[in-house]
Structure 1
Amino acid sequence: MRLEQKAAQLLASKKKTVSLAESCTGGLLSHRLTNVPGSSNYLKLAVVAYSNEAKEKTLKISPPLMKKHGAVSGAVATAMAKGVREILKTDFGVSITGIAGPTGGTLQKPTGLTFIAVATELETLCLECRFQGTRAGIKSQAANQALRLLIEFLT
């Protein structure tokens, strides 16, 4: 069973809802979840907040937080997951922010560095991942890891 099918099955059977905030994956996670029939029962919102301005205005990420940590950080991924969950009060908020490459990486934040967070009303977990490969490969790996983390929260 594919990861998105497993996540969909768990969300539906537990009657849980999810909102997504994606940056470097450009909507790939929401694309994969909406490929599963019945996704409107659990997927309530999907935002591609690619720019810092979009993160600040749509997800209410504070400019000082962005300035201090940068858009690609655990702090911002955590705030994105909490922010997107809060908009429609879904059970889960999932976020992905990272550097998919091939350019944009630095010594401190190399290409492939990705932060993935899942937030509930009571807790938030954020993973730091370092993926390798092409831009498409990094995006795919990030979406896979986000699905795995959501599944972990659901089981």
Structure 2
Amino acid sequence: MKISASKGSVRAGLALSAALAWAVLSATGSAALPEDASGVTRTAAAARERTCPIVYFDLGETLVHTADDGSAGYQPGAASYLRALRLRRIPVGLITNVPPSWGTTDAERAARLRQEVDATWRGPVPFAWKDFGDRVLTPRTEAERKPAPALWQRAKAGSGRCRVV
């Protein structure tokens, strides 16, 4: 029996693997780290404060696959990657295009997005909305839609001193 994967699922798997590996490696640190520009060695605690990862994902065809019949479910491997990040207490977020008309705030647009996804969900495990908390970033205007950098800039601005992946 031959098992094959679509280019999209392979690409999503590679992206998820890279995000998980980077986040896990960034979350671990040694006691002494390289010197900064002034020649001072950073402590592990100070480095973790600056490198704590927050992993942002796109939704469609990265975490969620929409089938030809319009139903939705996890992309292969996506649920396990989210679970692995959750077990490591690495926060996750979504950066996804939705119509700005879906609401006046990210929370309103995220609520509408959840309704849309949940209405078509056919996977055996529900989508892990609780993992994302208030880290669901959506365009406020058409000009903010990806690939424009606005959503990524908002993610970085809201991350404090943590590194955004």
Interval of TM-score (by shorter of Structure 1 and Structure 2): 0.3 to 0.5
Which structure has more strand as a fraction of its residues? 1
TM, length-normalised to structure 1: 0.34
Larger Rg: 2
**So what's the TM-score if we normalise by structure 2?**
0.33
